């Protein structure tokens, strides 16, 4: 089955700086890669996703890149703000493969220092 | 459009009791997924259901756990004879098709 590795487990950046979180996956059949933000006591919130037919996707201060050959994808947050502090999870699955449960990484605690 | 709803938000059970967790998907969504999250861990897939059908239960423990998504009403995750190791946050997600999954606020289960 799929295995997703995520790092770093904790990331502290100064407000205004950029943050990058990286994930690798093992199953070359995976074709859908969402990112979720989870605040304390809440459910995960989908913030951006990418399919394997594109290499990059951007939404305001958030971007995701995908390298299918190397089987890794990354989340980039620019101009970080205090409200970006949360736990971020990457995930992967194979759409249309019959089993559509997401496989998650273990999460990154992002801390924005004022 | 209301989001995914889960209840109860917190549930306390003693060992050996039953736990019933409910999930109402977003309007128009016919796909429901259940995940379990242990402290400081990522979410682990348990089961994927469509109306009246279990599509994939590969992540569900073989004993004591069951799930349903009836034609009418919410999806139910049922845990019989709970043990302390069942203490976790259980999240439900819904999707309009087999694509983006939107999560509910979760049910925090504590087994005493």
Dist. CA B69–CA B53, nearest whole Å: 7
Is residue B36 less than 8 Å (CB to CB) from chain A? no
Q: How many CB atoms lie within 10 A of CB A81?
A: 12
B34-88 residue pLDDT tens: 999 988 788 999 999 998 899 999 999 999 999 999 988 999 999 999 999 999 9
Burial of B53 (0-12, 13-18, 19+ CB in 10 A): exposed
Indicate yes or no: CB of B42 within 8 angstroms of CB of A107: yes
Residues within 8 A of B (CB atoms), A 61-100 only: 89, 95-96, 98-100
Work out the widest C-alpha separation in chain A, in whole angstroms.
45
A48-96 residue pLDDT tens: 999 888 899 999 999 999 999 999 999 999 999 999 999 999 999 887 6
State the first-to-last Cα distance of chain B, in angstroms, to the nearest integer: 37
What b-and-e string marks burial along B65-87, b requiring 16 or more CB atoms within 10 Å of the CB?
bebbbeeeebbbbebeebeeebb
Indicate yes or no: CB of B105 within 8 angstroms of CB of A103: no
What b-and-e string marks burial along A85-104, b requiring 16 or more CB atoms within 10 Å of the CB?
bbbbbbbbbbeeeebbbbbb
Query: Taking CA atoms, what residue in A is nearest to B47?
Result: A101
Which positions in chain B touch A30 (Cβ < 8 Å)?
A: none
Query: CA of A73 to nearest chain B CA: how many angstroms apart?
Result: 17
Mean pLDDT of chain B: 93
User: Is residue A99's pLDDT more than 60?
Assistant: no
Is residue A114 less than 8 Å (CB to CB) from chain B? no
Tokens at residue A7, please?
């790092």
Least confident among A78-82, A93-97, B11-15, B104-108: A93-97
Mean pLDDT of chain A: 93
Q: What local confidence, expressed as pLDDT, does residue A53 receive?
A: 83
Q: How many CB atoms lie within 10 A of CB B34?
A: 27
Instruction: Check if the beta carbon of residue B56 is closer than 8 Å to that of residue B108.
Output: no
């Amino acid at each position: 089955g799929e295995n997703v590795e995520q790092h770093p487990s904790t990331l502290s950046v100064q407000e205004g700086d950029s943050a990058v979180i990286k994930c690798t996956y093992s199953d070359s059949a995976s074709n859908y890669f969402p990112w979720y933000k989870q605040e304390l006591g809440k459910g995960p919130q989908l913030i951006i996703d990418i399919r394997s037919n594109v290499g990059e996707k951007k939404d305001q201060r958030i971007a995701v890149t995908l390298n299918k050959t190397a089987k890794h994808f990354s989340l980039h947050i620019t101009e970080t703000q205090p409200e970006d502090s949360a736990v971020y999870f990457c995930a992967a699955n194979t759409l249309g493969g019959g089993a559509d449960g997401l496989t998650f990484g273990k999460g990154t605690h992002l801390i924005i220092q004022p | 459009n209301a989001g995914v709803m889960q209840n109860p938000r917190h549930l306390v059970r003693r060992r050996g009791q039953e736990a019933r967790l409910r999930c109402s998907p977003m309007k128009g969504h016919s796909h429901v997924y259940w995940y379990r999250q242990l402290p400081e861990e990522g979410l682990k897939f348990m089961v994927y259901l469509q109306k009246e059908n279990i599509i994939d239960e590969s992540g569900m423990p073989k004993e004591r756990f069951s799930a349903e998504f009836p034609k009418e009403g919410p999806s139910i995750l049922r845990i019989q004879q709970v043990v302390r190791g069942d203490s976790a946050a259980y999240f439900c997600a819904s999707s309009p098709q087999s694509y983006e999954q939107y999560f509910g606020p979760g049910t925090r289960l504590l087994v005493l």
